[in-house]
Amino acid sequence: MGDNNLHGTIPLDFGVNLPNINWFSLYRNHLEGPIPYSLCNASRIEHLALDGNRFRGSVPMNLEKLQALQRFNLQDNQLGGEKDDMNFITSLTNCSNLYFLSLAINRFSGVLPSSIANLSSQLTHLHLGYNQISGTIPSGIENLANLKYFVMGENHFTGSIPIHLGKLQKLEVVALFDNTLSGRIPESIGNLTRLYRLNLGGNDLQGSIPWSLGNCQRLGGLFLSKNNFNGTIPKQVLYIPPLRMLFVGMNSLSGPFPLVVDGLKNLEILDVSNNKFSGEIPSTLGTCTHLEFLYMKVNSFQGNIPSSLSSLKGLKELDLSHNNLSGQIPIYLEEFLFLQYLNLSFNDLEGAVPEHRIFQNASALSIQGNRKLCGGITKLGLPPCSKLAPKKHKKALPLIGIVISGVIAVLSLFLLSYFFAHYWLKKSSKKSPIISSMGERFLEVTYAEILKATDGFSSANLIGVGSFGFVYKGILDQIGLTAAIKVLKLQQHRAPKSFVAECKALRSIRHRNVVKILSVCSSIDFTGNDFKALVFEYMPNGSLDTWLHPNEEKHNSTCLNFIQRLNVAIDVASALDYLHHDCEASVVHCDLKPSNVLLDEDMVAHVGDFGLARIFSKDVGNCYQTESSSIGIKGSIGYVAPEYGMGGEVSSYGDVYSYGILLLEMFMGKRPTDDIFKDNLNLHQLAKMAFPERVIEIIDQRLLLEGNVNISSNEDYNEMRSRMHECLLSLVRIGISCSVEAQKERSEMREVMLQLQGVRDFYLGVNKYKAKEKKAPLSLEGPSYISNY
Ligand SMILES: *[C@@H]1O[C@H](CO)[C@@H](O)[C@H](O)[C@H]1NC(C)=O
Ligand SMILES: *[C@@H]1O[C@H](CO)[C@@H](O)[C@H](O)[C@H]1NC(C)=O
Ligand SMILES: *[C@@H]1O[C@H](CO)[C@@H](O)[C@H](O)[C@H]1NC(C)=O
Ligand SMILES: *[C@@H]1O[C@H](CO)[C@@H](O)[C@H](O)[C@H]1NC(C)=O
Ligand SMILES: *[C@@H]1O[C@H](CO)[C@@H](O)[C@H](O)[C@H]1NC(C)=O
Ligand SMILES: *[C@@H]1O[C@H](CO)[C@@H](O)[C@H](O)[C@H]1NC(C)=O
Ligand SMILES: *[C@@H]1O[C@H](CO)[C@@H](O)[C@H](O)[C@H]1NC(C)=O
Ligand SMILES: *[C@@H]1O[C@H](CO)[C@@H](O)[C@H](O)[C@H]1NC(C)=O
């Protein structure tokens, strides 16, 4: 009954009346009152989701009979607030199947009982964030050997980080931010090689940042701001290629900033502000070409702003204020198209202030406290540069520049009048709030333009029928590109919600394996009805579905070969990995299937159709839903995870299931909806029964016929074949393990992606000798050589 508008309380005798219930899902309603004591009589309960309500009071302390309990979610309620309000945890220690426990976002205020260490060793998710829990983190926590998510941020924990935290080798997310933890970061943190997010910001931690953190080579986000760390940042920590966010601001770090070339080539945000760094800004920073936000304020950096920073063309915000920088303001900053904030104040900069782009906007620019600057736009109120002062900028604008600015001036006048007229005409029709809430990121197109582009929605241009609308191909004059235009069927009552869901999901997404949205249209058609459309980049090679199951009528008889399929599988996995873990908010796609995987001209796969997507806030792991498209259906038959059918909550593991099915379909060549699958037989079962000895019999036979013209000798050919067979085994194994029925046994997409990359490296011989050395029998449970990567 989750995700509805129910109110009132849970009947006090519910557990007595429903002694056999095993799923009880009431998340996100308006329920209140206590959690009834009779819960303990529902002794077969496995999944209990009470999150997102207004339950209050204490949690019953007699839960030891709930032997079957696996997932217990109380987050986002008003529970707790009394003395010893977490003692019920002791009664959960008998629940040997518990793998998920969340108490986040409540009013728990007591001390965490040390019995937390005696919870099931199956526990993978422990969310206690956003409460007022005090006391120390029990050191016994290191018993929870399978823990992946350890989230305790925004509480009142004191004492130190458990010294043996490094024993929890499966940890992926550690979030202890905004507590009062003191002491040092334990060296053993470097043992957490699967860690991809570490957030210790806002504590009283001290000492140096351990170099062993450099062993965490999967880290994507490292947050150490607002502590008392001193010393410098170890070189090892500045060599973590996947790192995208590094926050060490508001500490006492000192010395030069030792950046390694290419060590952080994916870095997007770097915040080292409010420390005691000295020396020059390292010129190697220029190799972090993905940087968008660079904050170095309030330090003692000196010397010039290096010329190598001219390669940071994607910068949106740059703050170098309160340092000791000298020399001129680099002219290349004028060329940064995305720069919206530039603060160079309180330095020792000199010479002329440039005048274009960012330098024209006095509210986005700060240069005060540099006594030797001159020129710039008049609003800055600086003295004019004397004739003797260097005038580089004027020289940089020769005749051609003047001509261009003339053209731009005329064009902007023209555009201005166009928008004026446009606005005038549109003013009467009410503007959809969706568009304004999407910010200025998307260009808006009109109904008339779409009508023209699709040739009046002619069937010749129809390229697909999606869940909530038709997709047309067309050339939009405004963009000047061929685009795929998805027109929503608004008669279908869920379609408007799907439009909003898709807009929201795509607003913040940017990845090479996700289809790019170019534009949106929300207006009325010529008959006065609402009209909504989304404009995407066009994918000339259509969907994966048509490649896997070529239609005899169409002459498209070429099928994808092994390596093409493998590449597509990796593309889709990296898109999902990005969506789940690396977006601003975690996005669950909810409708992954081959017809939603599109191929561009280079056969690179792009995941599309976000009409059912759900967006989750990041702060408390991957389970807290802040947004919802409230769409009942969660996917397509054959691909939808079994727990959704039973009222389970949407989670990234649902996508992992769909991915497993997709992977099996790609290499077995059979749809999950094929006629042979009835009764209890499905794609997963079929694969599992054949694994490992008879896998070759269930593989898409077209793959086995594949010849490779590039291979000259027979020996190479045989070698390639046997390597392919081995890879197929691994792929089927991965497909099986992703699509297991039990949600908790599925891996994260990140793990899956790394395994697939391992398979590809092996196939292409990148790690030839390594693979041979480690060749071990493949089995379903045991680790295979592949998972060593
Ligand atoms: C419910 O559980 C309580 C505590 O274990 C027990 O005393 C009571 O007899 C149970 N009630 C029923 C109807 O089973
Ligand atoms: C704890 O679990 C065991 C079985 O694993 C059971 O026999 C025992 O009664 C349970 N303890 C309590 C207090 O319910
Ligand atoms: C945890 O379990 C162990 C062994 O079962 C027991 O000795 C210990 O007292 C328990 N600790 C707590 C805090 O319940
Ligand atoms: C964990 O880290 C510590 C300190 O860095 C080290 O001594 C220990 O051997 C590591 N343990 C494992 C299992 O890697
Ligand atoms: C860092 O701070 C600690 C005390 O908090 C001090 O003992 C140590 O010498 C400092 N290290 C450096 C490099 O300043
Ligand atoms: C600023 O840099 C200059 C040299 O460029 C140096 O002489 C001066 O001492 C520095 N000031 C501070 C406060 O570090
Ligand atoms: C620029 O930085 C200075 C000092 O850090 C700060 O006082 C000022 O408000 C900043 N300017 C803007 C526009 O934010
Ligand atoms: C100037 O900068 C402010 C703040 O970044 C921004 O809101 C405004 O749109 C900018 N104006 C122009 C004309 O770019």
Which residues touch 265 (CB under 8 Å, ≥6 apart)?
241, 287, 288, 289, 290
Domain ranges for the chain, please list them. Answer: 253-380, 433-537, 544-769
Q: Which of 76, 319, 591, 655 is catalytic?
A: 591
Q: pLDDT of 419-463, one tens digit each?
A: 433 433 333 333 332 333 333 345 667 788 888 888 888 888 888
For the chain, the maximum distance between any two Cα atoms, rounded to a whole number of angstroms, is: 92
CA angle, 300 as apex, 309 and 181 as ends, to 5°? Answer: 100
pLDDT at 778: 30
Task: Check residue 427 and report its DSSP letter.
Answer: T
297 lines ligand 7 (CB under 6 A): yes
Active site residue 591: yes
CATH class of the region 433-537: alpha beta
> What is the rounded average pLDDT of the residues 291-319?
93
> Of 322-336, 407-421, 533-547, 601-615, which range is least confident?
407-421
Phi, psi of 732 (to 5 degrees): -65, -40
Q: Give strand pairing partners of 522.
A: 532
The gap from C-alpha 65 to its chain's centroid, in whole angstroms, comes to: 38
278 lines ligand 6 (CB under 6 A): no
Q: At what angle do helices 652-668 and 683-690 cross, to 10 degrees?
A: 60
Phi, psi of 59 (to 5 degrees): -85, 135
pLDDT at 787: 23
Q: At what angle do helices 683-690 and 714-738 cross, to 10 degrees?
A: 130
The pTM of the full predicted model, rounded to 2 decimals, is 0.64
> How many angstroms separate the alpha carbon of residue 55 from the centre of ligand 5?
47
> In this structure, what token pair is assigned to residue 237?
């920590």
Q: How far apart are CA 56 and CA 77, in angstroms?
A: 7
DSSP E strands, 492-625: 517-524, 530-537, 586-588, 597-599, 605-607, 614-616
Neighbours of 377 (CB within 10 A): 16
User: Are 576 and 654 a contacting pair, CB within 8 Å?
Assistant: no
618 lines ligand 2 (CB under 6 A): no
Q: At what angle do helices 562-577 and 749-763 cross, to 10 degrees?
A: 150
pLDDT at 365 over 90: yes
pLDDT at 320: 96
User: Are 149 and 75 a contacting pair, CB within 8 Å?
Assistant: no
pLDDT at 477 over 70: yes
Atom in ligand 6 nearest the alpha carbon of residue 278: 14
> Of 205-214, 395-404, 618-627, which range is least confident?
618-627
The percent of residues in the chain predicted with pLDDT above 90, rounded, is: 47
> How many angstroms separate the alpha carbon of residue 283 from the centre of ligand 6?
19
Average pLDDT, the chain: 82
167 known member of a binding site:
no
Q: Among 41, 94, 119, which residue has the most ligand 2 atoms within 8 Å of its CB, making it the best to mutate? A: 94
- Confidence at 743, pLDDT banded by 50, 70, 90: confident
166 lines ligand 4 (CB under 6 A): yes
Q: pLDDT of 528-578, one tens digit each?
A: 777 888 888 888 888 899 888 887 555 445 788 899 999 999 999 999 999
According to DSSP H, which parts of 294-431 are helical?
392-395, 399-426
Task: Check for a shared fold between 253-380 and 433-537.
Answer: no
Q: Among 84, 118, 121, 141, which residue has the most ligand 3 atoms within 8 Å of its CB, making it the best to mutate? A: 118
> What is the rounded average pLDDT of the residues 511-520?
83
Find the helix or strand (DSSP H, E) in which 460 lies.
none
DSSP reduced 3-state for 629: coil
- Confidence at 622, pLDDT banded by 50, 70, 90: very low
pLDDT at 766: 61
Higher pLDDT, 269 or 714: 269
> Of 103-107, 672-676, 769-773, which range is least confident?
769-773
DSSP E strands, 323-439: 324-328, 341-343, 348-353, 365-366, 372-375
94 lines ligand 2 (CB under 6 A): yes
Q: pLDDT of 385-404, one tens digit each?
A: 876 544 444 444 444 444 44
Which has the closest alpha carbon to 257: 275, 281, 273? 281
> How many angstroms separate the alpha carbon of residue 519 from the centre of ligand 5?
54
Q: Provide the CATH number for the domain formed by 544-769 in this structure.
A: 1.10.510.10
Which has the closest alpha carbon to 752: 511, 526, 576, 604? 576
Q: Give strand pairing partners of 23.
A: 47
> What is the rounded average pLDDT of the residues 298-318?
93
> What is the rounded average pLDDT of the residues 259-280?
89
> How many angstroms separate the alpha carbon of residue 119 from the centre of ligand 3?
10
User: Are 188 and 216 a contacting pair, CB within 8 Å?
Assistant: no
Q: Residue with the nearest Cα to atom 7 of ligand 3? A: 118
Find the helix or strand (DSSP H, E) in which 336 lies.
none
266-271 — which CB contacts under 8 Å span 24+ positions?
266/241, 266/242, 266/290, 267/243, 267/291, 268/244, 268/292, 268/293, 269/244, 269/245, 269/293, 270/246, 270/294, 270/295, 270/296, 271/225, 271/246, 271/247, 271/295
pLDDT at 487: 85
Ligand lying nearest the CA atom of residue 14: 1
Q: Residue with the nearest Cα to atom 5 of ligand 4? A: 188
How do beta strands 269-271 and 245-247 pair?
Answer: parallel
Ligand lying nearest the CA atom of residue 65: 2
Q: Among 94, 115, 116, which residue has the most ligand 3 atoms within 8 Å of its CB, making it the best to mutate? A: 115
The architecture in CATH of the region 253-380 reads Alpha-Beta Horseshoe (3.80)
Ligand lying nearest the CA atom of residue 412: 8
